Chains A and B, each alone.
Chain A
Amino acid sequence: MDAHAVAETEQGSVFFLYLNACAEVGATTSPIDFSVIYLSPVRLETYEEHIAGLTTLDGLLDKLRAVHPNFDAALATAEEESYAHSLAMVRDGVLTRLHAERLRARLTQGELAAKAGLRQPNISRYEKVGVAMSIRTAKRLAAALELADYKVLLP
């Protein structure tokens, strides 16, 4: 009889136990002979080690540039397509223009708030469809987002 067993310890190590056991049925002999036992520890990767070894966004873009020579131009086109899709969502009333412009500028709410001299929860509120903002706030946000016309941000 061959038996394989995997046991996990509290420390996260796995021991692979291979029992080459001989089964004999008889009244006078032992039923299992543990003659050969191999014990080898295998250390499990922790979550932190796992994420440390993953490809970063910059690493991915570099790999794609190596495969596709004109990847940067394609990425610029993709950015425009993504922005056009966001504007279509603004027209459908699903997204606010502020949200679409923030995504285009690739800023977090906190980063935009810091640039415009506002608080992050206010940005979150203004990004809800139908929430009004003052002209003064719209001007500050437009300046932070480098928009020529602040009126596009008004609902």
Chain B
Amino acid sequence: MRDRFEVKIEKPAVEMLLEMDERDAALLSQGIRQLEVEPFPVSQKERETTSMAFAILVKRGYQIRRLKVQDVLGWRVFYYVDTRNQKVLVKEVIARTDDTYAPAAPHVRRLVENYRRYFCREVEH
């Protein structure tokens, strides 16, 4: 990992961050800021989280190896690491309790739609 990644944030994540209280927004911003230099989870045990949304995406056949998730406080941050363009795209920031196996959950629908529109065609293939 030689170069700094450029972090970009999707609209749903921005809206969620703007709705939070100051402390949570600051801690999440700090977590997102660290993705510039360290986009890959440090350790399986401590930093990487298994998301229920991942299980749904895998079941539907999406290649999600570059989609990552990190937990900060009671929040879950989904982001995509685009190593080819040296970018980190923060897709979703949701409350940890909102991450469910329900395929119709709003964040799952947005992730699927995002994958269908951009990553399956433009990046993964």
The residues of A with any CB-CB pair to B shorter than 8 Å are 44-47, 50-51, 54-57, 59-61, 63-64, 67-68, 70-71, 74-75, 77-79, 81-82, 89, 94-95, 99, 102-103, 106-111, 120, 124
- A105 shortest CB reach to chain B, Å: 9
CB distance from A124 to the nearest CB of B (A): 8
Residue of chain B at shortest CB distance from A77: B26
Rounded to whole angstroms, the CA-CA distance of A39 and B18 in the bound complex is 40
B66 within 8 A of A: no
16 additional contacts (CB under 8 A) given A46-B122, A99-B42, A120-B1: A45-B117, A47-B118, A47-B119, A51-B85, A54-B11, A55-B8, A56-B7, A59-B9, A64-B18, A77-B26, A78-B29, A82-B31, A95-B42, A102-B37, A108-B37, A110-B2
Contact indicator A64/B17 (Cβ below 8 Å) = yes
Q: How distant is A78 from chain B, measured CB to nearest CB, in Å? A: 4
